[in-house]
Amino acid sequence: LIKICISTEPEKLMTTFNPNGKKLVSLCLTGLFLFCIATGVFFISGCGDSKKKELNLGYKILIPNLNEATITVIPAEESDEPYLIDLDYNPLFIQRLPDSKKIYVLQESTNEIAIIDKDTDTIIDTFRFEVGSSSDQTNFRLKFLPDGSKGFITTSYYASGIACLDPSDNSFIEGINVNSTTIDNMFFNSTGNRLYAMDSSSQKIHSVNTGTMELVEDILVPEQFSVTLYNADKSIFYMAESGDNAAVKIYNLANDEFTDRIDDVADNIVKFMLSEDGKLLYVVGSDQIVTINTSDFTIEDTIDLDYREPSDFRFLSDSNYFIAPSKASSMLMILDSDLSTDETIAIGSNPGEVVVTK
């Protein structure tokens, strides 16, 4: 690597790391060019007093730091510095109540839920969400109905693997016994009257009536799956298999069959996302993003990520950026429309799934 820097700061020695983790040592001299030698790629950058380019993301981003009992807040305008919200416990999952200023924070090893005001970034309430008994259970995930009238929480209380929350007063409505505490994700159908709780460990989809809050049926999926995404418009699931060179496939719920698949898509897939027009499926692996054309279900492109182990992937439509937090590097990647890294922002340890808000 040859790195050319310009600095007007006093002479100093810096040690940094490139994205591949290889050490490079830079000696900065006042007003002079600096040449640094290491292995890697060639690039030119300012150092010392260089000014970071400001990105106006157009959205505020909240990132739970799963190992630090904090939430990192990235302001909508990058001229404002990121800051932390302190919690009593490590966060597990955060979710915004639709058409509301409230962001709910599920926390590790407790049934205490915190509520953050999205405008002030302050905790405005905490409450205990007790399911079945007053002893602590862990609440893992939360999914609100689109109208915000109910929230469905996956819990560690076996007799009620899913519990229903009334957001108007944060009270417990009813528990739903799905005979499982290992639900990975939840989706609603197009009308919102059915909740699909995905349980990859038992290879089942638990179908719940959101009105009566009763388990309607357990659907045994005929093939193994891990990460899922439901396309309510087409009533199909995109499903990934686990491990290296994982396959991606389409499961038709009505016919109880897989209708298409692509082998060897990516390693350790963690996330799916559909483009706003539904024409592209983004498949996020441990070190790549693969785009699939949904019309003929073929791979369009494969992009290598600069930072490994993304925990989430979102599109910011106002600014045309994508974002992806990296667990391996504790960085938020800001990606251009071609999915190349435009900039990174330091965040906390072990970032989880984010909330994006105005």
Cβ–Cβ contacts within 10 Å for residue 138, how many? 16
The tokens describing 178, both together, are 């799905």
* DSSP annotation of 307: S
CA distances from 5 to 19, 205, 341, 356 (A): 18, 55, 20, 35
SS3 318: coil
264-273 burial by CB neighbour count: b if 16+ within 10 A, else e? ebbebbbbbb
The tokens describing 262, both together, are 């692509």
Prediction pTM value: 0.84
Cα separation, 31 vs 10, in Å, equals 9
How do the pLDDT tens digits run along the chain, 358 residues long? 444 444 333 333 333 333 333 333 333 333 433 334 344 443 333 333 333 456 678 899 999 999 999 999 999 876 679 999 999 999 999 999 999 999 999 999 899 999 999 999 999 999 999 887 667 789 999 999 999 999 999 999 887 899 999 999 999 999 999 999 999 999 999 999 999 999 999 999 999 999 999 999 999 999 999 999 999 999 999 999 999 999 999 999 999 999 999 999 999 999 999 999 999 999 999 999 999 999 999 999 999 999 999 999 999 998 899 999 999 999 999 999 999 999 999 999 999 999 999 8
CA angle 305, 311, 316 (to 5 degrees): 75
Q: How many Cα atoms within 13 Å fall on the side-chain side of residue 193?
A: 4
Cα separation, 141 vs 154, in Å, equals 5
SS3 11: coil
